[in-house]
Chains A and B, each alone.
Chain A
Amino acid sequence: GQNIDQPTEMTATEGAIVQINCTYQTSGFNGLFWYQQHAGEAPTFLSYNVLDGLEEKGRFSSFLSRSKGYSYLLLKELQMKDSASYLCAVRDSNYQLIWGAGTKLIIKP
Chain B
Amino acid sequence: GAVVSQHPSWVICKSGTSVKIECRSLDFQATTMFWYRQFPKQSLMLMATSNEGSKATYEQGVEKDKFLINHASLTLSTLTVTSAHPEDSSFYICSALIGGEGSPLHFGNGTRLTVT
Contact surface of A with B, Cβ cutoff 8 Å? 30-31, 33, 35, 40-45, 48, 50, 87, 95-97, 99-102
Contacts and interface: CB of A to CB of B under 8 A. Distances in A.
A43 B107 CA distance: 7
Contacts of B42: 101
Contacts, number: 40
Contact of A42 (B46, B101, B107): B107
Contact of B104 (A45, A95, A100, A101): A45
Interface in B102-116: 102, 104-110, 112
Nearest to A95: B101
B102 A50 contact: yes
Interface residues of B, number: 18
B104 A42 contact: no
Q: Is the interface of A mostly helix, strand, loop or mixed?
A: loop
B60 interface: no
Contact of A99 (B44, B108, B110, B112): B44
Given A42-B6, A43-B44, 13 more contacts: A40-B112, A41-B110, A42-B108, A42-B109, A42-B110, A44-B107, A45-B104, A48-B102, A87-B44, A97-B46, A97-B105, A100-B43, A101-B43
A48 B45 CA distance: 20
A96 B59 CA distance: 11
A100 B43 CA distance: 7
A55 to B, nearest CB: 12
Interface in B74-101: 91, 93, 101
